[in-house]
């Protein structure tokens, strides 16, 4: 069982918007920055969002991140079939002295 909780799956139609939640505690999300990763089928994960809401160069502004208290959210607008992937949240856990990931959310673009 993962320290961070994500929904196993989400789905939406092309062009629509979807949000993926990531719930933790004060020892992880509550006091540390959150990052998000996209893993397309058969490939290595790729950084999508860092420091809660910042996008690396090359990541389109359709992707956004936010954090409130002990939860974080990834938003994706203008869904495309190419966005079908597994999405993971992650952060440092100060109590565990360990990095923790969510269990992952599979996005299906119907």
Partner 1 sequence: QVHLVESGGGVVQPGRSPRLSCAASGFTFSTYAMHWVRQAPGKGLDWVAVISYDGSNKYYADSVKGRFTISRDNSKNTLYLQMNSLRAEDTAVFYCARGAAYASGGGWFDPWGQGTLVTVSS
Q: Which residues bind partner 1 (CB under 8 A)?
A: 2, 32-33, 35, 37, 39, 44-47, 50-51, 56, 86, 88, 90, 92, 94, 97-104
CB of 18 to partner 1, least distance (A): 19
Q: Report the distance separating Cα 44 and Cα 85, nearest Å.
A: 11
CB of 15 to partner 1, least distance (A): 28
CB nearer to partner 1: give 17 or 54. Answer: 54
Residue found by looking up tokens 């949000």 in the block: 19
CB nearer to partner 1: give 13 or 97. Answer: 97
The secondary structure of 65-100 as a DSSP string is EEEETTEEEEEE-S--GGG-EEEEEEEEETTTTEEE
CB nearer to partner 1: give 35 or 64. Answer: 35
Structure tokens at 65: 């991140």
């Amino acid at each position: 069982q993962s320290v961070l909780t994500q929904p196993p799956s989400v789905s939406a139609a092309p062009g629509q918007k979807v949000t993926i939640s990531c719930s933790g505690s004060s020892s992880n999300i509550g006091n540390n920055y959150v990052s998000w990763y996209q893993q397309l089928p058969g490939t290595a994960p790729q950084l999508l969002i860092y420091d809660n809401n910042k996008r690396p160069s090359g990541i389109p502004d359709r992707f956004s991140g936010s954090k409130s208290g002990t939860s974080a959210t990834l938003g994706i607008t203008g869904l495309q079939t190419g966005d079908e992937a597994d999405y993971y949240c992650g952060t440092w856990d100060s109590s565990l002295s360990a990095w923790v990931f969510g269990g992952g959310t599979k996005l299906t673009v119907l």
